[in-house]
Structure 1
Amino acid sequence: MSLQVMLQERISCAQALLQRAELLGQVEGWGKLCGKLRAELRFLRRVEAGELQVKESHLHSTNLTHLTAIVETAESLEGVVALLHVFTYQDAASLRQTLVVDVVANGGHTWVKAVGRKAEALHNIWQGRGQYGDKSIVRQAEEFLRASRQQPVQYRHPHVVFAFYNGVSSPMAERLNHMGVSVRGDIVAVNTVVMEEGGAQEEQQEQEQQEQQEEEEQQRDSDASEDEEEAETELTRVDRGTVVASLAFPAQVQVEECQRVNLDITTLITYVSALSHGRCHLTFREVVLTEQAAQERREPVLPRLLAFMQGKELFACRAAVTDFQLILDTLGGDGEKERARQLLARLHLVDDQPSERSLSLTPSAKVNRRSLTIFGTGDSLRAVTMTANSRFVRAAANQGVRYSVFIHQPRALTEGKEWRATPV
């Protein structure tokens, strides 16, 4: 295949992939993925225009393979919430590290690494025959598992999946499964060859030449050179023509939902607000109340709250209930106070008991002591905290503490201000 023909194929592939990526919807990281594809397309068009001179091997080693794997993974899964998301975690030495998860799906319960490299390359790196600095898939799996254990979603560790779009050797797949990583893609056989030292070197050189033409990545490194001291060398070679299993993504992964709910002050207020109970066809003197009324007319909040709370144990800590009662006594109308009485009768009132990791947060304008106590108590209860306080959730996440939350739109107490409002 000529360089020009290959270039046109790559450009067509990038264009089609960008169109598919744009259809994924604007989940977190969507713009980052589309930006990477546009950058790849710009690079290829500069080559086409003669602005850049590249070898044929450079076109083989573009990022398109990996980006294709990401798009196909996102298309295959339900509940995708993020693409190319960066998580932070602590390694074995308690040092802060970052990890990019290609696709976060199933509402955050599934992490997927999309692997586009060929089975031969992956297998050789795992056996110590890759280029210097290449990190094996098994090593990457260890990092994913460590990070996932530090990033629970509704108090369950995300399930790690490695999706191989150009196959994976059966020994590697077996090792990953044993570690607790699910494998998707074609699992291919390997052949074991035992030969004398000279024959092993000759065989290895032939293999490296072939794979270097494909990916420019197969060279014997220092680990493999130690094997040359042996009189006999055992090599395993990938037989990509023999597929021993082909594992596709399930349409949907079932995850047991957390059955405990912790109510924040903002949720208590929203639940009893007159706005949430049909009294939203008004224009108030206060701009924020008028905006909330218009929002309620477009998207009623109470059905979402009721659907999430249905069948679950409801909790609230003393700090939340005390402050809620104070606000209610000051601003609440008769209807709002009666709904509050009925709601509080359904709740388990618990003492304030913020979790240890909550107490490690540094207080700030967005991380105040009251919110820290309420969210921290939910964390100790292993409950999902319902809240409209997304500012605190983001601020805590920026300090490395991610809470299990259900975020909804806020509604204020408005019954006492209806007398001076005008109908819409």
Structure 2
Amino acid sequence: MASIPHDMLTQADRLSQRNGVQPDALHGAMADLDISTNGSATPTETTMASEATSVTEADNEIDGHALALDMQQRCRLLLDELEQFQAYLKEEGKEHSAELRALKTEVQSEMRVIDKIAKNPSNPRGIQSLHSSNLSFFTAVWDTAKKCSGILALRRYFYFHGRKPHINGTVSTSALGRKKRSAVVDIVSQDGLEFVKVSTILEKRIIWDLAKAGWVGSDSSEEAEQSDDDDGPEGILKQVEGLLKASRETRVRYRHPTVRLVFTRISRTPRTKEVAQILQQIRNMGIIVQTSEDILDSPPVADVLDRLAPGNCYRLTDVLNLDCTVLLAFVSDLSHGRVEPQDWHNGMISTQREMEAKKPLLPSKLWPVCESRKLVCTKEAATRMQEISGIIGTPAEKRRTALLLGLDDTVEMTNEQILEEFQTLTEYEIPANWHLPVEVVDVDLAALKSNLPPSVEKVSEALSDMNRSVFVYGWASGFTTLSSNRAVAKEIESIIEENRTSDEVGPDIWPCSLRSLVGKEKERRGAQDMLPVVSS
């Protein structure tokens, strides 16, 4: 088939060519899918344009009352599951770690509209409003979210800057020339490392969006190009472009989030080759594309609460580097059973005692993380640990310290013998594959830093001798560092981002809760706080 001369192309035709779709093929696809090309929407297209509903029957064939009741029930179920997740996060002390309010507010707003329509379900305008409801879309977002891990936000806006070209064609870098944009990420998962966009769009709608763009605005080639970049219609490709830009301006633990696009109503093998080309173009942009065949049944939220909660998506190395705070957690009396409250316990110990009563740290988190992994620590961390234990530790805490680090008479003990004695000092069942003692490593900082990015110098300047040995060693060795020192972890990340010269990745730090040594009354009252928690 002969191609159409460029001066005879509509704006939609030019847009289609840039997207890899030939104009004549586009018009043919529109005809195949019953889409009008006269610039106005047919009744079929009007119904199709609502992504949020799968209802296609005519209004007069719908039982408005039954439809309203069904949508009310679905709305309540969605809100109930969101509230279950919120309650779980609060119970785990993570209620501020995940942003769920945006989606919940949108669903509540939808619920109010549905409730109002349900009072007069025979009203044709009300039934049409039910058809154009966003409930199906919100349900699709939540169903997709329940199959994710480490959710940080639902329906969150990310902002980025689009640069508008000057008249002479150069790119403006001034504040006035930078136009702030936003992209809505439906699900921020993998503890921030994944952006998920859910689309309930139909094949017809994709073709329609490409065509509709041609009958809006000017036909000039220059303006068409600008429209596609800045002010064009919000089609699927525009959304994808926004997601990519938001990802490129976002870093989580030194990395850009990956982008995943979930098409709930488009097949892996679309009916039209034009839609297949669009999907392939999206894949070529580095985006993971899932279609209807990839969508599994959504589980009840009660079955997946732990997986959905933030903080469970770290990929740990086979060797774990322990800082002083984690060594203390392994030997603290607080971590090994009930500790009776005493009037001389400070506020930190009282808080940790309450946390342990709700969810013991070792059985629920630290031991599962250690599994059969090799455990190491730097000489500086081990020395500091022994100092603290020697000054304020109870007899049981001191003995656990010796067993943990292989000190004194434990030097000749086997792993089995160490675990056997450790079991007598705890109320919990010790895992049989816990590798003790921890290997103490004497590090050469100068040699380690020579293999790291230039930002290591700035990081080193900000840290104490002990923390410098711990985090630089973990960074240079490529080992995950377990630490309760969240302030230092955040400071390291900030320094690296401020001094970034390329895509360098900083130390991999896995955060956990703090446990102090209980100590004895006399020593606790007279000793200064020796825990390296907030100091650098």
Q: Same fold (TM over 0.5)?
A: yes
The Cα of 1:37 is off from its aligned counterpart by 0.5
Equivalent residue for 1:195? none
The Cα of 1:126 is off from its aligned counterpart by 4.9
Name the CA shift for 1:335/1:358 in 2 (closer, same or farther; >3 Å). Answer: same
Equivalent residue for 1:172? 278
C-alpha offsets along residues 291-327 of structure 1, whole Å, 9 cap, x if unaligned? 4335435433223212212344545467755654553
Q: Which amino acid aligns with 1:247?
A: D
Name the CA shift for 1:417/1:145 in 2 (closer, same or farther; >3 Å). Answer: farther
Structure 2 CA distance, aligned partners of 1:31 and 1:287? 36
Structure 1 CA distance, aligned partners of 2:387 and 2:77? 54
The Cα of 1:286 is off from its aligned counterpart by 0.7
Spell out the pairing of 1:253-332 with structure 2 (5 A cutoff). 257-259=315-317, 260-278=319-337, 280-284=338-342, 285-288=344-347, 289-303=349-363, 304-314=365-375, 316=377, 320=381, 323-332=384-393
Equivalent residue for 2:513? 409
Structure 1 CA distance, aligned partners of 2:67 and 2:508? 45
Structure 1 CA distance, aligned partners of 2:160 and 2:246? 7
Unaligned runs of 5+ in 1: 187-245
- TM-score, normalised to structure 2's length? 0.51
Structure 1 CA distance, aligned partners of 2:373 and 2:210? 47
Equivalent residue for 2:439? 346
Structure 2 CA distance, aligned partners of 1:357 and 1:125? 47
Conserved? CA contact 2:182–2:242, under 8 Å: no
Conserved? CA contact 1:270–1:410, under 8 Å: yes
CA RMSD of aligned residues (A): 5.0
Residue of structure 1 aligned with 2:107, choices 37, 40, 57: 37
Residue of structure 2 aligned with 1:22, choices 68, 72, 80: 80
Name the CA shift for 1:281/1:101 in 2 (closer, same or farther; >3 Å). Answer: same
Q: Which amino acid aligns with 1:341?
A: L
Equivalent residue for 1:117? 201
C-alpha offsets along residues 43-76 of structure 1, whole Å, 9 cap, x if unaligned? 34456679xx97876655443243122022124x
Equivalent residue for 1:183? 289
The Cα of 1:372 is off from its aligned counterpart by 8.4
Conserved? CA contact 1:21–1:71, under 8 Å: no
Residue of structure 2 aligned with 1:102, choices 176, 181, 186: 186
SS in 2 for 1:166: coil
Spell out the pairing of 1:7-86 with structure 2 (5 A cutoff). 9=67, 12-23=70-81, 25-26=85-86, 28-46=98-116, 60-75=131-146, 77-84=147-154, 86=156
SS in 1 for 2:360: coil
SS in 2 for 1:101: strand
Spell out the pairing of 1:229-240 with structure 2 (5 A cutoff). none
The Cα of 1:29 is off from its aligned counterpart by 3.0
Spell out the pairing of 1:343-422 with structure 2 (5 A cutoff). 345-348=438-441, 350=443, 351=445, 369=463, 378=474, 382-390=478-486, 405-417=509-521
Conserved? CA contact 2:260–2:288, under 8 Å: yes
C-alpha offsets along residues 200-249 of structure 1, whole Å, 9 cap, x if unaligned? xxxxxxxxxxxxxxxxxxxxxxxxxxxxxxxxxxxxxxxxxxxxxx3334
The Cα of 1:171 is off from its aligned counterpart by 1.8
Conserved? CA contact 1:281–1:297, under 8 Å: no
Structure 2 CA distance, aligned partners of 1:330 and 1:126? 73
The Cα of 1:31 is off from its aligned counterpart by 3.8
Single out whichever of 402-411 and 86-95 deviates more from structure 2: 86-95
Residue of structure 1 aligned with 2:237, choices 138, 144, 153: 138
SS in 1 for 2:388: helix
SS in 1 for 2:289: strand
Matched length? 353
Conserved? CA contact 1:162–1:183, under 8 Å: yes
Name the CA shift for 1:32/1:3 in 2 (closer, same or farther; >3 Å). Answer: farther
The Cα of 1:270 is off from its aligned counterpart by 0.7
Structure 2 CA distance, aligned partners of 1:117 and 1:399? 43
C-alpha offsets along residues 124-150 of structure 1, whole Å, 9 cap, x if unaligned? 435672766423433433443455567
Single out whichever of 392-401 and 173-182 deviates more from structure 2: 392-401
User: Could you say which structure has the higher strand fraction?
Assistant: 1
Name the CA shift for 1:41/1:177 in 2 (closer, same or farther; >3 Å). Answer: same
Name the CA shift for 1:256/1:297 in 2 (closer, same or farther; >3 Å). Answer: closer
SS in 1 for 2:239: helix
SS in 2 for 1:167: coil
Q: Identity of paired residues, percent?
A: 21
Structure 1 CA distance, aligned partners of 2:76 and 2:489? 33
Name the CA shift for 1:152/1:268 in 2 (closer, same or farther; >3 Å). Answer: farther
